[in-house]
Amino acid sequence: MTARKINRIAVFTSGGDAPGMNAAIRAAVRTATKNDLGVMGVRFGYQGMIDDDFIEMHHHSVSNILQHGGTILKSARSEDFRKAEGRKKAVENLRKHNIDAIVAIGGDGTFRGATVLHDEYGFPVVGVPGTIDNDLFGTDETIGYDTALNTAMEAIDKIRDTADAHDRLFLVEVMGREAGFIALETGIATGAELILLPEAVKKIDYIRDSLNKVFKVQRRSSLVIVAEGDETGGALSLAEKLKDDFGKYEMRVCVLGHLQRGGSPTSHDRVLAGRLGSAAVQALLNGHTSVMAGVLNHKNALTPMHKTWSEKKSIDFELLELAQVIR
């Protein structure tokens, strides 16, 4: 791969925020400045690119941000960027600021947009996987996933306490519209009696039978973890379907929602973000483009960007079997 001549890069975050994005921004900015590159931050993702919302960044611009959730560069979704005229305006602004390459921090929607910029205008771009869903192909973990797991686990531990105190059946919905990574691992970590995932569809009769077996054995209360994208339609829909079957037990629904996105990133997410943010800049300096910087088997790895969403990342079905054995 022939190295490109790069003098200035742009860094931005897009789509749903994830704890650790600030650490990725910090690593990208500081790796760039130590390689004598100029850095511009783009506020509010692709919409900011269209609106010319750029800020110059230096080594000190990213001081004291590691511990904060969210993203100092803000994030937004952009309908304008879906249109050719919007992308044309974005590229005009990138060129106006003499930007030679881009570090895009986000999930599959972010990477789809970056791929279009590369394919239509030849802009060198490297992605950094920032999404709590952990659903991007080409990396074992995404930035924010570990923090989201720990946030959900702590909340569910508290829910378990109140469920036991009142003989209640709790249905707890966690994020995961198309992937059950969060539901699977938090379900195991909290001792859930049942885990419902988009990847392992369970019919309502199976769910009823499973819960009845649990209650007959020993439980005074029960905990079901539901990924928001599960076949049942989420926790609220499932509660409606089960309301006539478990009269002895008070049924309660808790939707954790955006609680999982917030909070100070764990040490694991901070280190992962630092590693990948720096790797993205180095990849650009080495001439790579339209790739994502990820980690596979504990080693840095570059994956063609289009594969990150076109190929399906699978949950660990051995973990799912484990959950059924030890529940």
List the catalytic residues. 133
SS3 label, residue 311: coil
Q: Which of 20, 292, 314, 297 is nearest to 181 (CA)?
A: 314
How does DSSP assign 53-89, residue by residue? -EEEE-GGGGTT-TT--S-TT-----SGGGSHHHHHH
What is the rounded distance in angstroms from the CA atom of residue 142 to the CA atom of residue 70? Answer: 15
* Contacts of the segment 31-39: beta carbons below 8 A, 24+ positions apart: 31/277, 31/278, 31/281, 31/282, 32/281, 33/58, 33/59, 35/281, 35/285, 37/6, 37/7, 37/8, 37/9, 37/281, 38/7, 38/8, 38/9, 38/98, 39/8, 39/9, 39/10, 39/11
CA–CA gap between residue 282 and residue 180 (Å, rounded): 32
Q: Which of 130, 126, 115 is nearest to 71 (CA)?
A: 130
